Structure 1
Amino acid sequence: MRNIKMTIEYDGGRYQGWQRLGDTDKTIQGKIENVLSQLTGTEVEIVGSGRTDAGTHAKGQVANFKTESEMELSAMQEVLIKNLPQDIIVKKLEEVPERFHSRYHASGKQYSYYVWNQTIPSAFERNYSFHYPEQLDMKKMGKAAGKLTGRHDFLGFSALKKSKKSTVRKLDKITIEKEGDMVHFTFIGEGFLYKMVRILTGTLLEIGTGTLELDAIDDVFESGVRSDAGMAVPSQGLFLDEVYYD
């Protein structure tokens, strides 16, 4: 039995997220599994490094699947590219040890979020960024990013109502760069909770406009209450850039 690791790029704009759903064929996992099952002649289940929400994009999602197929990986990749929709691209296939698991063995992830920070919206950037015309204090957002990094309980910065599992995560780095009219947020950490990146971005934006004060971050960590944090920004500006493995 071969274990194949996939690196996948996709535009999530017209999909209901990564995870296969029983009531729709509009998922990334479902589309790839359908092509692989037809290709190998057996039902294939792929395991992703994690779920991405409806509308979220990926430049480096990772998944793996097991198969008895002896097809060359280059030929398999050609079939996948030819038969998948053009907004889902399998960038790389590689054979890995049988015990490799794309989710359990991931040591960290990098996400990007893009904000179009101009009074006038962009016709071209609208599907890949959030239009936020308010004036932003970049230095204040930088200080807020510093308070968010480290190991904390991020329950209040997530859309989880309750969790029996730990909501403590280590956020290694946040960078905020303005490139013309685009503000690029980068988040690197060992793992992220449901909607955590979108809520962290919304909180940073509201601190940047003065809607929230810097102390709000400490309040959220202390209370663990979602409503104490900022807004959850829309999904179209979010990209999963890379999944890290030791």
Structure 2
Amino acid sequence: MRNLLMTISYDGTHYFGFQTQPDGNTIQDHLEAVISQLTGEKVKIHGSGRTDAGVHARGQTFHFLTSSQIPVERWRHALNGRLPSDIRITDAVEVPLEFHSRRYAKRKTYRYSINGNRVFDVFYRQFQLHHPGVLDVQAMRVGLAYLIGTHDYTSFASRHSTKQSHVRTIYEARIEVECGTEGAGTHEQGIIHIYVTGNGFLQHMVRIIVGTLLQVGEGKRAPKDMKSILEAKDRAAAGPTAESKGLMLWKVEYDEVPEIPDITKISQDMSF
């Protein structure tokens, strides 16, 4: 038996999220189906985390057990040839049997993108929230800083959260503005990217943070209100949940991934 860890990118626009749902059409459903086609096995993949319907991923990870002897370097090509064009495996390695993509993950980074220009970009409309109104980005930066640290994030969790504890740690949170030359010196605000890195996230957590920050940027809340919202531990204290399409699971980090050498390849290299 082998344990394979893979990294995947996907456009979540037309899917019901990463994890299998009763209605099907999830990223997990498609992955398990093509792996079964390739190996003849019934497999169950384990993701490093969930993404909701319409949310995208640049660096999601998952692992699964297989008895297939397909060399690890061939998996990416074999699976990509069977997957829909909006789902792509970007990396595959063999890891020890005890490795678990979720439990071993140390840091996860999400990015939320807001198009602050008067006219949205038709080519990126599925990946950015369009907000043509003027935003005070510096006020948003100040407000976001209050969330860094270890806290109870109940105010920023879905009311449907089933987690026993809402205590999480946000290691880093920042806002970057991508300004194109077309918008220089005009009313255009460019693309506002909000990055949040933590040890784990609650259901809708980043989207609620963004929805509340937008109210700060619009002048409806003061930056320091983020602190009192956090302390309230009450979902009603925070702002709305931002649309899913602007959110992307940017990357998942591990202390170290102990790769297992491909025995088949080693044997071939040693043959004379």
Instruction: Tell me what 2:242 maps to.
Output: 233
Q: Equivalent residue of 2:209, what SS? A: helix
Aligned partners of 1:11 and 1:57 also within 8 Å: yes
Give runs of aligned pairs for residues 150-161 of structure 1, distance below 5 A.
Answer: 150-161=149-160
Instruction: Tell me what 1:183 maps to.
Output: 192
- Rounded to whole Å, the distance in 2 between the matches of 1:78 and 1:118 is 38
- Rounded to whole Å, the distance in 1 between the matches of 2:191 and 2:32 is 35
- Rounded to whole Å, the distance in 1 between the matches of 2:244 and 2:87 is 17
Instruction: Tell me what 2:229 maps to.
Output: 220
Q: What amino acid does structure 2 have at the position aligned with 1:230?
A: G
Aligned partners of 1:12 and 1:54 also within 8 Å: yes
Larger radius of gyration: 2
Instruction: Tell me what 2:186 maps to.
Output: none
1:123-152 Cα shifts (integer Å, max 9, x gaps): 222111000112111221111111111111
Aligned partners of 1:115 and 1:182 also within 8 Å: yes
Instruction: Tell me what 1:244 maps to.
Output: 253
Instruction: Tell me what 1:19 maps to.
Output: 19
Q: What amino acid does structure 2 have at the position aligned with 1:223?
A: A
How far residue 162 of structure 1 moved from its aligned partner, in angstroms, is 5.8
How far residue 96 of structure 1 moved from its aligned partner, in angstroms, is 0.2
Give runs of aligned pairs for residues 57-76 of structure 1, distance below 5 A.
Answer: 57-76=56-75
Instruction: Tell me what 2:216 maps to.
Output: 207
- Rounded to whole Å, the distance in 1 between the matches of 2:165 and 2:151 is 11
Aligned partners of 2:20 and 2:27 also within 8 Å: yes
Q: What amino acid does structure 1 have at the position aligned with 2:90?
A: K
Q: What amino acid does structure 2 have at the position aligned with 1:113?
A: Y
1:12-66 Cα shifts (integer Å, max 9, x gaps): 0100000112322x11000000011121111011000011000111010000000
How far residue 122 of structure 1 moved from its aligned partner, in angstroms, is 2.4
TM-score, normalization by structure 1: 0.96
Aligned partners of 2:161 and 2:202 also within 8 Å: no
Instruction: Tell me what 1:10 maps to.
Output: 10
How far residue 164 of structure 1 moved from its aligned partner, in angstroms, is 5.5
Q: Percent identity over the alignment?
A: 41
What is the total number of aligned residue pairs between the two structures?
A: 245
- Rounded to whole Å, the distance in 2 between the matches of 1:212 and 1:175 is 19
The farther-off stretch of 195-204 and 119-128 is 119-128
Aligned partners of 2:146 and 2:224 also within 8 Å: no
Q: 1:193 aligns with which of 194, 202, 213?
A: 202
How far residue 215 of structure 1 moved from its aligned partner, in angstroms, is 3.5
Q: Give the superposed CA RMSD.
A: 1.3
| Structure 1 pair 14–164 and aligned structure 2 pair: CA distance change class (3 A) | closer
How far residue 167 of structure 1 moved from its aligned partner, in angstroms, is 0.4
Aligned partners of 1:117 and 1:134 also within 8 Å: yes
How far residue 117 of structure 1 moved from its aligned partner, in angstroms, is 0.4
| Structure 1 pair 77–163 and aligned structure 2 pair: CA distance change class (3 A) | closer
Stretches of structure 1 that go unaligned for 5 or more consecutive residues are: none
Q: What amino acid does structure 1 have at the position aligned with 2:79?
A: L
The farther-off stretch of 217-226 and 3-12 is 217-226
How far residue 212 of structure 1 moved from its aligned partner, in angstroms, is 1.5
- Rounded to whole Å, the distance in 2 between the matches of 1:232 and 1:33 is 31
| Structure 1 pair 164–59 and aligned structure 2 pair: CA distance change class (3 A) | closer
Is 1:81 matched up with 2:84?
no
